[in-house]
Amino acid sequence: MTKKVVLLLTVFLIIILPSCGYRREAPEDRLNQMQEEKLNKKDKLAKSNEEAVEENINGFDIEDDLSITESNGNGNNTSCLDQNEKNQLSKSIEPKKINTILHEYNTKLPNTIIDSRQYTQYNISYDYFLITAEEGADVLENPTPDGNIVANVENLQKVSLLQRVEGKEEEASNIWYRVGFANGSQVNEGYVHSTEGVPRSFRFNRMEEAVNQLKQQVAEGELHYISNYKNENGAPPQKGEEAIDQYGYRVYHSAPAYDRADTNSDYRYIPDGMLIRLLGEDGDFYHIGVPTFGGEYYVPKQYIDTEKSFNQLKHVVVIDRDQQNQAAFEVKDNGLNLISYTLSTTGLPGEFSFETTLGSYKAIVKRERFEYLKNGTQEIAGYAPFAIRFTGGAYIHGVPVKYEEENGEKVDPGIIEYLHTIGTFPRSNMCVRNYSSHAEFLYNWMDIEHGAVIVIE
């Protein structure tokens, strides 16, 4: 009897294990793993004190992104609609008896935001669905597993979101998304199962709220900002070997924020570039308020240059870390002008990378390009074009370019415009990766003296 049981178990494992084992790690699985690892991590990144030379800015090897981009350029023309096309499609479609509508996706610009876009490449609807299924997803005529296939959408492609509905169950879920898309010059619609991807939106209300909060803070009096790029004003104290504090802010590039005007009191880190308000002095400390943290702290005076103030907000870029998108606004007395909105890629917490930290930051400096190091060495690996630095070594920038080698010399292969991975999942190290044409637009547009960058979630 025992031999029979063992034999049956062996056969069972032979059948089951291969089907369980053949599964590549999905991007969201990798992200969850990195989130678990982000605390109690050491800082392993090679650093340079040279001007315009930064740590490796890539959370994954940029060759991976280029490979993904190349493999998805296979002639499939299915793409997301722009907002006008999506609005027209939404008006023309009718409900179907086969499904129950749970939610209509109808994000609009708030009345206090005027559409004044100056950059319109890569137009995309305000609500969209990111395909995460490794082999892509079939768009079906009806929300049923056996429905007719209308189109196939590649992995990491985006399609416009119309509705969330209840349909026939598949993989223990009866939730489907009705989506719109363009296939060449044709606009069409259909259904994608909820397991095939994730819904995303441009959260303009949240963005407006963040800008208005900073606008109000500036109206109440001039702000200043933390200055400790590459620890130029002194390395902050460190608790053990952890590279970040319990709030996710990095030791490097930061200032210690003490509970009292006493270096023996407890502290946390305030990153370089973060906007703060001077409340007073206490010996060798400035008493400050930190709007991002909603509290008051004491910072050694060396980390704040009181001659560098921020007293007017004209231009601001809001990065949505959760949705992996962003928008640029011109600030007016009676509201905001939307200058651009687009997809972006933020920092990934990993062994050799850090996430893009939340908060309100001064736009500190523009660089037409900066170079970055290869992990673990002082060797220059490549560069990023059209960059705006806002905290530490974190920039908004275009697609990273890896130098090529010819006869032992580094050769610039030229600026790369597009990556298929932009707007999908965090893949950078601290930085915010843009399409290069949009990075160039921001580089030329941003008023660096009166500009800010806000990171929300």
In a domain, 335, yes or no: no
Are 232 and 190 part of one and the same domain? no
Q: Which of 65-69, 130-134, 237-241, 443-447 has the lowest mean pLDDT?
A: 237-241
18 three-class SS: helix
Q: What is the CATH number of the domain that holds 252?
A: 2.30.30
* Residue type for position 438: H
Q: Are residues 253 and 165 located together in one domain of the fold?
A: no
Structure tokens at 79: 């793409």
Kindly give, in sequence order, each residue whose CB lies less than 8 Å from that of residue 15, ignoring residues fewer than 6 positions away. Answer: none
Question: What are the C-alpha distances in Å from 456 to residues 14, 203, 208, 280, 342?
Answer: 48, 10, 11, 29, 15
Q: Which of 6-20, 121-135, 148-162 has the lowest mean pLDDT?
A: 6-20
What average pLDDT score do residues 108-129 get? 97
pLDDT exceeds 60 at position 73: yes
Same domain, 162 and 253: no
Closest CA to 244 of 140, 356, 132, 152: 356
> Exposed e or buried b for every residue in 125-144, given b needs 16+ CB within 10 A?
bbbbbbbbbeebbbbbebbb
pLDDT score, position 3: 40
225: Cβ contacts below 8 Å, ≥ 6 apart: 273, 274, 275, 276, 304, 308, 310, 361, 362, 364
Question: For residue 453, is it within any domain?
Answer: no
In 3D space, the residue among 216, 423, 417 whose CA is nearest the CA of residue 319 turns out to be 423
The answer as to whether 84 is a domain residue is yes
Query: Same structural domain for residues 192 and 87?
Result: yes
The answer to whether the CB of 190 falls within 8 A of the CB of 139 is yes
Q: What is the mean pLDDT of residues 219-227?
A: 97
Q: Which among 272, 287, 303 is the end of a domain? A: 303
Q: Are residues 99 and 141 in the same domain?
A: yes
Total of domains in the chain: 2
**How far apart, in whole angstroms, are the C-alpha atoms of residue 388 and residue 316?**
12
Beta bridge partners of 379: none
Count CB atoms within 10 A of the CB of residue 369. Answer: 17
Question: Is 4 domain-assigned?
Answer: no
Residue 145 has pLDDT above 50, yes or no: yes
- Same domain as 146, residue 111: yes
- Residue 213, in any domain of the structure: no
Q: What is the pLDDT of residue 325?
A: 98
Which of 303, 325, 356 represents a domain boundary (last residue)?
303
* DSSP conformation letters of 382-409: EEEEEEEEEETTEEEE---EEPEEETTE
Residue 273: what are its φ and ψ, rounded to 5°? Answer: 90, -15
pLDDT at residue 391 tops 50: yes
Q: Would you say the C-alpha torsion 208, 213, 214, 215 has a positive or negative sign?
A: positive
Do 143 and 254 belong together in one domain?
no
Cα-based distances in Å from 440 to 7, 95, 260, 327, 416 = 65, 43, 43, 15, 12
User: Cα–Cα distance between 434 and 445 in angstroms, integer?
Assistant: 15
The whole-angstrom separation of Cα 365 and Cα 157 is: 33
Phi, psi of 377 (to 5 degrees): -140, 175
CB 392 within 8 A of CB 414: no
Residues in Cβ contact with 170 at an 8 Å cutoff, skipping those fewer than 6 apart: 145, 193, 195
Q: Give the residue from 202, 232, 262 where a domain finishes.
A: 202
409-441, pLDDT tens digit by residue?
999 999 999 999 999 999 999 999 999 999 999
pLDDT at 76: 56
Instruction: Classify residue 295: in a domain, yes or no.
Output: yes
- β-pairing, 53-54 vs 365-373, is parallel
Tens digits of residue pLDDT in 183-210: 888 999 999 999 999 999 999 999 999 9
What is the per-residue pLDDT across 120-129, written as a single tens digit (0 to 9) for each?
999 999 999 9
Q: What is the 3-state secondary structure (H, E, C) of 303-353?
A: HECCCCCECCCCEEEEEECCCCEEEEEEEECCEEEEEEEEECECECCECCE
Residue 373 lies in a domain: no
pLDDT digits (tens, 9 = 90+) for 378-390: 999 999 999 999 9
Residue 300 is classified by DSSP as E
**pLDDT above 70 as % of the chain:** 90
At 48 the pLDDT is 96
Query: Using an 8 Å Cβ cutoff, are 271 and 394 in contact?
Result: no
Domain span at 143? 74-202
Question: What contacts 38, CB < 8 A, 6 or more positions away?
Answer: 244, 248, 349, 350, 355
Contact 191, 143 (CB under 8 A): yes
| Residue that wins the pLDDT comparison between 401 and 96 | 401
| Lowest mean pLDDT across 12-26, 144-158, 296-310 | 12-26
Residue 90 shares a structural domain with residue 197: yes
The whole model's pTM is what? 0.91
Strands 404-406 and 409-411 turn out to be antiparallel
Q: Is the pLDDT of residue 2 over 80?
A: no
> Could you tell me if 178 and 253 lie in one domain?
no
Q: Are residues 184 and 84 in the same domain?
A: yes
| In-domain check, residue 148 | yes
Q: Which residues contact 250 (CB under 8 A, 6 or more apart)?
A: 43, 243, 244, 269, 271, 354, 357, 392
Res. 225: pLDDT tops 60: yes
* Whether residues 146 and 236 fall in one domain: no
82 and 186 assigned to the same domain: yes
**Tens of pLDDT, residues 356-379:** 999 999 999 999 999 999 999 999
